[in-house]
Structure 1
Amino acid sequence: MATVMEFTSPADEFPLGTVFENLPEVTVELERLIPHESLIIPYFWVRGAAPEHIEAAFEPHAGVVNIELIDNVENEYLMRAEWEGEYFGVLNALASAEVAVLTGIGTKDGWHFEVRGESRKKISEFRSICQAHDISIEITAVHELLPVQGDTYELTDAQREALVLAFERGYFDTPRETSLEELADELGITQQSLSSRLKRGHRRLIAGALVSE
């Protein structure tokens, strides 16, 4: 059964984490990962800094080939990074185990990843690869994808819990009766983690209920 795992990693463990040394207020969110011959090219969004400061803030890091600004939407900036295949980090470990990245969000306090493997074996393989290459991760949650309403769509336990709590507390009402911060405190997680769970939960609900295969 498909399994979702959440884990954290120190800010400087991931190559893009060098930005937090110069711009500690920014947030970095991975957009998508594209394997390309010997390179892994991650697209990511940067929030919380002026564009003229962003590129210079990403100091050289082992394995990084290039970082460039691609586009911007309001105060969010889409960037692309390339690094050599010889550098083996968390993204390489995920690719080797065939585990997909659902979300990857970084701040000065560290990185939070949500990933999905087609089975628990794939998740275990990823953990073993990290241990073999001394890649520092801390697993915070593991969920099996559960069918909802006759296999129409799938939610993790964490996503279902977040969606139900948000509904019960009036987060989806107009005006809202609670905030993201209050919900995150009640669940004992960060606002970024809660936002990710709500977003992924919404996506699966819409895909299952409104979009046909």
Structure 2
Amino acid sequence: MTFTHLVAPARDPTHRTGSAGGDDGPSLTDEETKLVCEFTVDAEDFVLAETVERVPEKTLEFEQFVPTGEHLLPYLWATDHDMSEFEAAAADDPSVASLRRVGMFDDGALYRVQWSDEADQLLTWIRERDVVVLQAETSGRDWLLKIRVDCRDDLSDLQTFCRDRDIAFTVERLYELTQPKMGQFNVSEKQRECLLAAKEMGFFEIPRASTLEDVADRLGISTRAASERLRRGQTNLLNNTLTIGEPTGIGVGENT
């Protein structure tokens, strides 16, 4: 299956598996960093467990949403299948209090969901903390979630929460939102400036309307620096857009 992903800025992502409690990276403080954690849980341990069991081949993903009060993950995309089949399964799902279709499209539908008091405990943990859900999607067997937290203590708390409730919890990727500043898709400010300049000058057109030397001259940097920024910027864009379904942990920083 394919999914549409929501991504966040990052710095030198580190791929690791296992619990979120380990800390073999740099020392961090709440004032200087936030963390993004991508982890998986079994489908039976998250909302819509019975729906996913009945329609395991279906594609489900939540819209990115910042918690406000009791409203968490209120919008759900359902694609690549008969909507009536999904709606019937969701209507019988104990985690769902109400489900309303708000939009119909060629490849699926967008729903507004209100969760019941029987919604899973993991949703409760997310709701009770200052956690931003950047991504939540299922392939039928498990859910992949990407959350943003303030510090490693939050992840340790999540690990303990899941362990105490026998929730299978595997960290797939953990990385910092800190210096050096990396923008959306892991592209640094210098890389972004160089990419945009190259685009505006027709460097990527066929045939090229400008040369690498032209781009470097416009930015006041060496040709070698321009070449490295373009290469690293394109690498970060590809690794965090086209290949985001299989996280690579790559975020190439700056030396020039």
Q: Which residue of 2 aligns with 1:188?
A: none
Query: Measured at CA, do residues 163 and 88 of structure 1 come closer, stay the same or move farther in structure 2, by a change above 3 Å?
Result: farther
The 2-side partners of 1:192 and 1:130 are apart by 24
SS at match of 2:50: helix
Q: Which residue of 2 aligns with 1:6?
A: 38
* Contact 1:5/1:116 (<8 A) preserved: yes
Residue 137 of structure 2 is aligned to residue 105 of structure 1:
yes
More off after superposition, 83-92 vs 23-32? 83-92
| Corresponding letter in the other structure for 2:245 | Q
Of all paired residues, the percent bearing the same amino acid is: 23
Displacement of 1:109: 2.1
* Contact 2:66/2:133 (<8 A) preserved: no
Residue 194 of structure 2 is aligned to residue 164 of structure 1:
no
Normalised to the residue count of structure 2, the TM-score between the two structures is 0.55
Q: Which residue of 2 aligns with 1:153?
A: 183
Residue ranges of structure 1 left out of the alignment (5+ in a row): 173-179, 185-190, 202-213
* Contact 2:133/2:148 (<8 A) preserved: yes
* Contact 1:4/1:144 (<8 A) preserved: yes
The 1-side partners of 2:69 and 2:141 are apart by 32
Q: Which residue of 2 aligns with 1:192?
A: 245
Residue 124 of structure 2 is aligned to residue 124 of structure 1:
no
Query: Measured at CA, do residues 21 and 13 of structure 1 come closer, stay the same or move farther in structure 2, by a change above 3 Å?
Result: same
Which residues of 2 match residues 56-67 of structure 1 at below 5 A? 56-58=88-90, 60-67=92-99
Which one has more relative contact order, counting CA pairs under 8 Å at least 6 apart?
A: 2
Residue ranges of structure 2 left out of the alignment (5+ in a row): 1-32, 188-231, 252-256
Which structure has the larger Rg over C-alpha atoms? 2
The 2-side partners of 1:162 and 1:134 are apart by 41
More off after superposition, 56-65 vs 109-118? 56-65
Which residues of 2 match residues 11-90 of structure 1 at below 5 A? 11-33=43-65, 40=72, 42-58=74-90, 60-85=92-117, 87-90=119-122
Displacement of 1:39: 6.0
Displacement of 1:162: 11
* Contact 2:40/2:145 (<8 A) preserved: yes
The 1-side partners of 2:122 and 2:234 are apart by 29
CA offset digits 1:101-157 (Å, max 9, x no partner): 110111212111111101112222222233334433222222122434xx3637669
* Contact 2:186/2:236 (<8 A) preserved: no
| Corresponding letter in the other structure for 1:44 | L
Write 1 or 2 for the structure with the bigger share of helix. 1
Q: Which residue of 1 aligns with 2:170?
A: 138
